[in-house]
C-alpha cells in the first residue's frame, strides 16, 4: 500500500474522485449508525438479567449482620458489598464507601465537596482560592473535563504517552504550583486510548512532591475488570503505592458495576485512606440517610466472589471482542500503510482511539455525520472540547451490531481518506 503523500497530483485527483463516489454511495443509503457513546449492547445487558431474580418479595432482605435492608441506614454500604469491593480494589473494607448507582456522581460530589469544604487536610476550601487547576491527561474522558468546567477549575492538558501520562511535566507542575489540586486518571484501559499505567507511573504519581498539601489523584478505575484478552494488563495498587510513599491521603479511587451489570442501575464505589473515608462519610451522612442497599444485595448475591465477576466479564468479552476485532481489521484493510491515521489496539475497556493527520478530525467527523454515521464530537476527548491537533477520534464499538460496525467503519475510513486527500491537494 502506498502512502498518499507518495502519489502524484494526477493520482491524487483520481483517488479523490473514486473515494468520493464510494462515499456518495453510502450517503444515498441514508444510514443511521451511532458509534458515539460507550454503552453496552443489549446482549451484554441480557447477561445480568438473572441478577434481578436474586431479590424477591418472598425472600429475606437482610444483610449478613442481620440488618433489614428495606429500611434506612448503611451510609457507606452493606458489609458484604464493602467486602466484595475491598477484594476487587485490593484495599481494606475500612477504606471503602459504597455509593449509589454512578461513580461519575461520586466524582462530581467529591469535587463539589472539595470546592465547598476542602478535602481532608485542606487549609482552605478549594472554591475560596482565586484559582484551582487540575491536570488532565489527554485524550481523556469528556465527563471528567465537564465536571472541571462546571466548577470553573482550570484544566491543564497533559500528554498521554504509551504507559501513562507524561510524568516529567506532571512532576514539574505539581512541585511548582500549589493551585494544582488534582489530576484525573483512568489508569486501566484508559478512555479512550486503552492505555494501562505502568508500575513506574503509579509509583511516581504516588511519591512526587506536591506543593499543594491537599493535592488529590482522582483514580477512576472504571475498566478494572473489562479485559478483552485472557492476559489482563496488570495495574499496581495506587492506594498501597501512596501509603508506601508516605502519601496515604493522596488518592481517591472510583469504580462501579455500570459496565459489569447495568449502567444506571449498578453500584458505585470509592476507596481511600481511612482518614479520607472518615471525613467523607461524615459529610455524606448529611446528604443522605443511606444508598440503595437492596441493589447492593442484588449485586453481592449475583457475585458471591471475584471468580463470578471474572466469569461474567469473560462473557462480556466474548460479545464485544469480535466488535473490537471488526473495527481493527477494517481499519487495517482500509487504511493500513496509507499513513493517514494511527490507532491503538486496546487490551480492554470500551474504546478505540484513532488519530488522523493533524487538522482533520473535525472535518472527518462532520463528513461521517453527513453520511449518517455519528461519532463522538470532535475535541470531546480534550479539556474545553479543544483538541490542539484536531486529530483524535474516539470509536465506541460495543453498542452497534457487527454489521453496523462494518459499515460505519467503512464510511469512517472513506471520510478519513477524502479529508486527507483534500488537505494534501489544497
The residue ranges that bind ligand PLP (CB under 6 A) are 38, 102-104, 141, 186, 191, 220, 222, 256, 258, 263, 268
Q: Which is nearer to ligand PLP, 51 or 222 (CB)?
A: 222
- How far is residue 404 from each of residues 237, 397, 408, measured CA to CA in Å? 38, 10, 6
Q: Shortest Cβ distance from residue 103 to ligand PLP (Å)?
A: 3
Cell of 88: 476487587
Please state the closest distance from residue 220 (CB atom) to ligand PLP, in A. 5
- Minimum CB–partner distance for residue 374 and ligand PLP (Å): 16
- By DSSP bridging, strand 154-161 and strand 133-138 are parallel
Are 396 and 405 in contact, with CB atoms under 8 Å apart? no
CA-CA-CA-CA dihedral for 230, 233, 236, 239, to nearest 10: -80
Smallest distance from ligand PLP to CB 263, Å:
5
Distance in Å, CB of 35 to ligand PLP, minimum: 14
Q: Would you say 39 or 338 has its CB closer to ligand PLP? A: 39
CB of 184 to ligand PLP, least distance (A): 9
Compute how many other C-beta atoms are within 10 angstroms of the C-beta atom of residue 217: 24
Distance between CA atoms of 332 and 290, rounded to whole angstroms?
50
Give whichever of 122 and 190 is closer to ligand PLP, judged by the CB atom: 190
User: How remote is the C-alpha of 98 from its chain's centroid?
Assistant: 19
Smallest distance, Å, CB 396 to ligand PLP?
9
148's grid cell: 472541571
Residue 149 buriedness (CB in 10 A; 0-12 / 13-18 / 19+): middle
End-to-end CA distance of the chain: 23
User: CB–CB of 80/102 below 8 Å?
Assistant: no
User: Is the Cβ of residue 190 or residue 355 nearer to ligand PLP in the bound state?
Assistant: 190
| 162 C-beta neighbours (distance < 10 Å), count | 8
Distance from C-alpha of 158 to C-alpha of 204, rounded to nearest angstrom: 15
Q: Which is nearer to ligand PLP, 354 or 419 (CB)?
A: 354
Which CB sits closer to ligand PLP, 206 or 380? 380
Q: Are 253 and 217 in contact (CB under 8 A)?
A: no
Distance CA 145, CA 154 (A): 10
Give the shortest CB-202-to-ligand PLP separation in angstroms: 17
Nearer to ligand PLP, 198 or 256 (CB): 256
118 vs 397 by CB, closer to ligand PLP: 397
Amino acid at each position: 500500500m502506498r502512502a498518499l503523500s507518495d502519489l502524484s497530483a494526477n493520482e491524487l485527483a483520481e483517488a479523490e474522485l473514486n473515494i468520493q463516489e464510494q462515499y456518495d454511495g453510502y450517503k444515498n443509503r441514508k444510514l443511521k449508525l451511532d458509534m458515539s457513546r460507550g454503552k453496552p449492547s443489549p446482549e451484554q445487558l441480557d447477561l445480568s438479567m438473572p441478577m434481578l431474580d436474586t431479590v424477591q418479595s418472598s425472600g429475606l432482605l437482610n444483610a449478613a449482620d442481620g440488618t433489614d435492608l428495606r429500611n434506612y441506614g448503611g451510609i457507606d454500604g452493606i458489609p458484604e458489598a464493602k467486602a466484595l469491593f475491598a477484594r476487587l480494589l485490593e484495599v481494606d473494607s475500612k477504606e471503602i464507601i459504597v455509593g449509589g448507582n454512578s461513580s461519575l456522581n461520586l466524582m462530581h460530589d467529591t469535587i463539589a465537596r472539595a470546592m465547598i469544604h476542602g478535602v481532608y487536610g485542606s487549609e482552605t476550601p478549594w472554591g475560596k482560592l482565586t484559582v484551582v487547576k487540575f491536570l488532565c491527561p489527554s485524550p481523556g474522558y469528556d465527563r471528567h473535563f465537564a465536571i472541571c468546567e462546571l466548577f470553573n477549575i482550570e484544566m491543564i492538558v497533559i500528554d498521554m504517552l504509551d504507559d501513562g501520562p507524561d510524568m516529567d511535566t506532571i512532576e514539574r507542575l505539581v512541585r511548582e504550583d500549589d493551585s494544582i489540586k488534582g489530576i484525573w486518571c483512568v489508569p486501566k484501559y484508559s478512555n479512550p486510548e486503552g492505555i494501562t499505567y505502568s508500575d513506574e507511573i503509579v509509583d511516581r504519581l504516588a511519591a512526587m512532591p506536591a506543593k499543594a498539601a491537599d493535592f488529590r489523584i482522582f483514580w477512576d478505575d472504571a475498566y478494572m475488570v473489562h479485559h478483552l484478552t485472557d492476559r489482563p494488563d496488570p495495574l499496581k495498587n495506587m492506594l498501597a503505592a501512596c501509603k508506601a510513599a508516605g502519601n496515604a491521603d493522596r488518592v481517591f479511587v472510583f469504580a462501579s458495576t455500570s459496565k459489569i451489570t447495568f449502567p444506571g442501575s449498578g453500584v458505585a464505589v470509592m476507596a481511600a485512606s481511612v482518614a479520607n473515608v472518615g471525613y467523607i462519610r461524615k459529610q455524606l451522612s448529611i446528604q443522605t440517610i443511606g444508598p440503595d442497599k437492596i441493589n447492593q444485595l442484588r449485586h453481592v448475591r449475583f457475585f458471591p466472589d471475584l471468580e463470578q465477576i471474572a466469569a461474567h466479564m469473560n462473557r462480556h468479552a466474548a460479545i464485544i471482542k469480535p466488535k473490537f476485532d471488526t473495527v481493527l481489521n477494517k481499519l487495517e484493510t482500509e487504511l493500513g500503510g496509507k499513513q493517514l491515521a494511527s490507532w491503538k489496539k486496546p487490551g480492554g475497556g470500551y474504546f478505540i482511539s484513532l488519530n488522523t493527520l493533524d487538522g482533520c478530525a473535525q472535518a472527518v467527523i462532520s463528513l461521517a455525520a453527513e453520511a449518517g454515521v455519528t461519532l463522538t464530537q470532535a475535541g470531546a476527548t480534550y479539556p474545553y472540547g479543544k483538541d490542539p491537533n484536531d486529530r483524535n477520534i474516539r470509536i465506541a464499538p460495543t453498542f452497534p451490531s457487527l454489521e453496523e460496525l462494518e459499515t460505519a467503519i467503512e464510511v469512517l475510513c472513506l471520510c478519513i481518506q477524502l479529508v486527507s486527500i483534500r488537505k494534501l491537494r489544497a
